[in-house]
Amino acid sequence: MDEMYWLSGAAWPQHARKTIDYPKEPLFTMLDRSADNNGDSPYTVFMGKSQTFAEVRDTTNRIANFLVSKGIKTGDKVAIFLPNMPHFPPVFFGALKAGAKVVTCNPMYKSGELNYQLSDTGAKIVFVLDHPTFTPTCYEAIKETDVHTVVVCSVKSYLSKATAIIGGLIGKVPKSPYYEEDKTVFYEQILSDYEPEAPEVDVDPMDTAVLIYTGGTTGSPKGAELTHYNLTSNILQIAEWVYLEEEDTDRPGGVRHGEEVFVGAIPWYHSYGLTLTMLMSTWFAGQLVCIPDPRSGKPPLSDLLKELEKTKGTVFNCVPALYAGIANHPDVGKYDLSSVNICSSGAAPLPPEVAKAFEAVTGTLLFEGYGLTETSPVTHINPTTSKHRKFGSIGLPISDTICKILDMETGTKEMAMGEIGEIAVHGPQVMKQYYKKSEETALVMREINGKRFFLTGDVGHMDEDGYTFISDRKKQMINVGGMKAYPREIEDILFTHPKVKIAAAIGLPRFDDPSNEFVKAYIVLKEGETGTPEEFIEWARDKMAGYKRPKEVDIVDDLPMSSVGKVLRKVLRDLEMQKRAND
């Protein structure tokens, strides 16, 4: 099969180049460039106060000098254990300017989970939010690791003086209950004690910039090594693709330099939030709105809606669960969301009904993309027009990206058009390797026609137009009497029921035949709705084949989710199996 056949498809965006010349430069170059050209423009925005690009570069350079003074050398690891706060960009770029590799850590980790990541990478310094939970967790996690310094970052650093004083007086500013003096340095000390001129350190753009951990829900976490070049390439690939047409919006065109307001609702420790929001905003000299907890407020998501309206956010990268929450928010009609123009969905499958509901309440076109931590993360995006978008598809491979569907047994045989197999991708955004896991790396890499392909672990097919459709994760297929049922397909159908807010499907072994499985569904109802399991089981009879239909349904208040909005099916299955064992 001609691996470039999709390039001639009619749906290929007319404004997108099929191949791009990617600069080989360190990631922090983008911050310096924006500070040189847009130094007085606001960059990070938090609680009504902003920092300019020049101010953030100043802080970045001070942090870099601090790290060098603490013995950080080229290739050492610096960990960031922070939510989406204004500290994140200068710490991130400062570590890179010092020659270090950044380790991004989920701020919701417990001490054992964080300890694993710090131990595995050999990180020397950790930046953590001054907080009653986060800071003590960090102190506990660094035990028996190579970490010798904890930098405690206070919210006060980025509040107005009046707000900081009042917050301190009434106890609203978060603060750790204690500090380990022999290991602790305070963020404010760095800003006052170190020079704002960057240290002279040679950084190879083809070397690793960030270690982002993945695979925690399916096995032991692995650190994906993403290079400066990987991430720079993906920024340009994404920007090249996004172009809105006049028939869909009152603001046609692509991402605008110096004009966009990127709303940081997705965590920056995760590749989706890091690349599409934090790094994109830096490259395009746009504002970066810091949202530490998008679900805060009463009802939930109210604070996010307020920020979207207040900051006049224009770029909103989010996950299906949050889009569904916004669409079903009881007060969504009270907020002016007209500024939002560029909306992408990723990190989890986007049910078509969720997209339609969000578009109905906002008037904004929502398009789905696809990728993985190992691919920086984006490999596919649906055309950003209503004419060429295909609901249910993850879209087309973006510039310089080749997609193949390979057999699921060996990952070496290319499947025919329309046949299901494992999705494999090649492109400049594909990771260098898994950190210290050469065997794991070898398992997911294949050389085909002289090109290096990454096996995604996702099952799907490509249609005659080159669009890719995902059935589900390879490890989450449900074996029903030899027939393969895919949770995503089942969930998409359940989402069409007018009472369903969120749904999840899993496979469970039959009591009488553990080698065989049946489908169980979990449903969260929309506010004010009532329903019974029997009602949904009966409704499904006319909606899906017998082997796909849920044999059991639980009506639940909520579903276990990762910090980026993925339903944790493995947790549901583990809880169900534990319940069975106790019965």
* pLDDT tens track for 409-450: 888 899 998 999 999 999 999 999 999 999 999 999 999 999
4, pLDDT greater than 50: no
> What mean pLDDT is predicted for residues 98-124?
93
In this chain, the answer to whether the domains covering 5-17+228-421+460-472 and 478-582 adopt an identical fold is: no
pLDDT score recorded for residue 7 = 46
pLDDT score recorded for residue 216 = 41
Rg of the Cα atoms in the chain: 24
> What mean pLDDT is predicted for residues 186-208?
97
> What mean pLDDT is predicted for residues 121-146?
97
pLDDT score recorded for residue 543 = 82
Averaged pLDDT score across all residues of the chain: 90
Q: Render pLDDT for 492-526 as a digit per residue (tens, 0 to 9).
A: 889 999 999 999 999 998 886 665 789 999 999 99
pLDDT score recorded for residue 6 = 46
Contact residues for 352 (Cβ-Cβ < 8 A; gap 6+):
391, 392, 492, 495
C-beta separation of 130 from 152 below 8 A? yes
Instruction: Write the DSSP assignment of 479-492 as a string of letters.
Output: EETTEEE-HHHHHH
pLDDT-derived band at 378 (thresholds 50, 70, 90) equals very high
Which is nearest to 315 in space by CA: 390, 383, 263, 388? Answer: 263
Q: Which residue has the higher pLDDT, 247 or 161?
A: 247
Quote the CA–CA distance of 568 and 321 in Å, as a whole number.
Answer: 12
The DSSP secondary-structure symbol of 145 reads: S
The arrangement of secondary structure in 478-582, i.e. its CATH architecture, is: 2-Layer Sandwich (3.30)
Fold observed for domain 5-17+228-421+460-472: Rossmann fold (3.40.50)
Question: Domain limits of the chain?
Answer: 5-17+228-421+460-472, 29-204, 478-582
Of 112-116, 279-283, 549-553, give the lowest mean pLDDT range: 112-116
257, pLDDT greater than 70: yes
Q: Is 42 left (phi over 0), alpha (psi -120 to 50) or beta?
A: beta
Quote the CA–CA distance of 573 and 570 in Å, as a whole number.
Answer: 5
Instruction: Write the DSSP assignment of 38-77 as a string of letters.
Output: HTTSEEEEETTEEEEHHHHHHHHHHHHHHHHHTT--TT-E
400, pLDDT greater than 50: yes
The arrangement of secondary structure in 29-204, i.e. its CATH architecture, is: 3-Layer(aba) Sandwich (3.40)
pLDDT-derived band at 193 (thresholds 50, 70, 90) equals very high
362, pLDDT greater than 80: yes
36, pLDDT greater than 60: yes
Instruction: Write the DSSP assignment of 73-133 as a string of letters.
Output: -TT-EEEEE--S-TTHHHHHHHHHHTTPEEEE--TT--HHHHHHHHHHHT--EEEEE--TT
Residue 493 structure tokens: 């159908």
583, pLDDT greater than 80: no
Global confidence as pTM: 0.83
> What mean pLDDT is predicted for residues 201-208?
97
> What mean pLDDT is predicted for residues 284-307?
95
